[in-house]
């Protein structure tokens, strides 16, 4: 999927891109794709490790564990003071940092589940709230990376799916709250994407097949392109790819208890395959 000249022209309004979790996967691809469109963008990445990509002459990396509220507060303060140096223009904020944990409750590691809530939910709300005054002054777009897991309960990934349902609903409501202010919100719901996500979530074998016409999964670069295209087209929510859209809309026509049961059967089968 390519960006049109109109899509690219839209990006002239942004002078700043702030990404959480740009050290790998989707976040890293979003930084690269945005720099491709706007080589002069002032880039700020927040994650524990530094991205391999060049963040630009004035780009900054703030090393931070965003699941730690005190560390997030300090990182946001640093960012807000450095933001004064950024050229005038709108802000593109991408709340992307997140992880899952493939485990059956009640055997899941409780501290990991709580850290997931702190990162996937708390950090996105906290960082956005701290940056909103600057976004309201300059104008901007807040992109929240949710997931197709946001559309139904996800047994074996129970907490993860619920965090993404929060992100999806919160992003849509945020957009309405911000209507008329010059700041928009976009919820991005990727399906399976080839990143470190599955390893970090505890899958020994990523549950995604080979790339090709029948494949459900996407590359992080493709998700990034679709995200930037949706920003340029002022969408409020996207599900990446027609197969993911078909699955999420079909699921939405069935009773939630059925969809949950079907999810449990599929994810339990995956779990058995993981341990074979």
Ligand X SMILES: NC(=O)c1ccc[n+]([C@@H]2O[C@H](COP(=O)([O-])OP(=O)(O)OC[C@H]3O[C@@H](n4cnc5c(N)ncnc54)[C@H](OP(=O)(O)O)[C@@H]3O)[C@@H](O)[C@H]2O)c1
Size of the site for ligand X (CB under 6 A): 28
Burial of 32 (0-12, 13-18, 19+ CB in 10 A): middle
- State yes or no: residue 96 binds ligand X (CB under 6 A): yes
The torsion angles phi and psi of 55, rounded to 5 degrees, stand at: -90, 5
- State yes or no: residue 144 binds ligand X (CB under 6 A): no
**Coil, strand or helix: which one is 215?**
coil
Triad 89, 225, 84: Cα angle to 5°: 20
Laid out side by side, the sheet with 14-20 consists of: 60-63, 42-47, 14-20, 90-95, 140-145, 183-189, 237-239
First to last CA, the chain: 37
- State yes or no: residue 48 binds ligand X (CB under 6 A): yes
Count CB-CB contacts under 10 A for residue 231.
23
Lay out the site mask for ligand X across 216-245 (x = CB under 6 A, - = otherwise): ----x-------------------------
Q: Which stretch binds ligand X (CB under 6 A): 77-85, 151-159, 194-202, 255-263?
A: 194-202
- State yes or no: residue 145 binds ligand X (CB under 6 A): yes
**Nearest residue to 227 via CA among 175, 124, 249, 236:** 236
**Nearest residue to 18 via CA among 140, 193, 164:** 140
Q: Which stretch binds ligand X (CB under 6 A): 21-29, 54-62, 128-136, 267-275?
A: 21-29
Binding ligand X (rule: CB under 6 A), the pick from 15, 35, 97, 144 is: 97
- The residue (of 119 and 158) whose beta carbon lies closer to ligand X is 119
Residue number of the CB atom closest to ligand X: 25
User: How far is it between the farthest Cα atoms of the chain?
Assistant: 56
Binding ligand X (rule: CB under 6 A), the pick from 47, 141, 152, 244 is: 47
- State yes or no: residue 195 binds ligand X (CB under 6 A): yes
- State yes or no: residue 169 binds ligand X (CB under 6 A): no
Binding ligand X (rule: CB under 6 A), the pick from 38, 155, 192, 241 is: 192
Q: Which residues bind ligand X (CB under 6 A)?
A: 20-21, 23-27, 47-49, 65-67, 96-99, 119, 145, 147, 190, 192-193, 195-197, 200, 220
């Amino acid at each position: 999927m390519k960006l049109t000249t109109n899509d690219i022209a839209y990006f002239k309004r942004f002078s700043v891109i702030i990404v959480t979790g740009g050290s790998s996967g989707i976040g890293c691809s979003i930084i690269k794709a945005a720099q491709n469109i706007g080589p002069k963008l002032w880039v700020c990445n927040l994650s524990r490790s530094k991205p391999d990509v060049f963040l630009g002459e004035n780009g900054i990396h703030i090393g931070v564990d965003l699941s730690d509220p005190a560390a997030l507060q300090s990182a946001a303060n640093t960012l807000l003071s450095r933001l004064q140096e950024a050229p005038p223009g709108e802000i593109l904020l991408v709340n992307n940092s997140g992880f899952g944990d493939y485990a059956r409750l009640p055997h899941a590691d409780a501290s990991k589940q709580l850290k997931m809530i702190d990162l996937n939910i708390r950090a996105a709300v906290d960082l956005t709230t701290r940056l909103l005054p600057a976004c309201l002054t300059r104008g901007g777009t807040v992109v929240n990376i949710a997931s197709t897991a946001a559309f139904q309960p996800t047994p074996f990934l129970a907490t993860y799916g619920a965090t993404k349902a929060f992100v999806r609903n919160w992003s849509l409501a945020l957009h309405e709250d911000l209507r008329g202010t010059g700041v928009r919100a976009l919820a991005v719901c990727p399906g399976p994407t080839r990143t470190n996500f599955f390893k970090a979530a505890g899958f020994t074998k990523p549950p995604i097949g080979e790339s090709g016409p029948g494949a459900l999964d996407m590359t992080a670069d493709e998700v990034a392109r679709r995200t930037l295209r949706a920003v340029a087209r002022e969408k409020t929510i996207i599900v990446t790819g027609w197969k993911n859209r078909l699955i999420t809309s079909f699921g939405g026509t069935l009773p939630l208890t059925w969809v949950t049961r079907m999810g449990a059967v599929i994810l339990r089968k995956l779990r058995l395959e993981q341990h074979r």
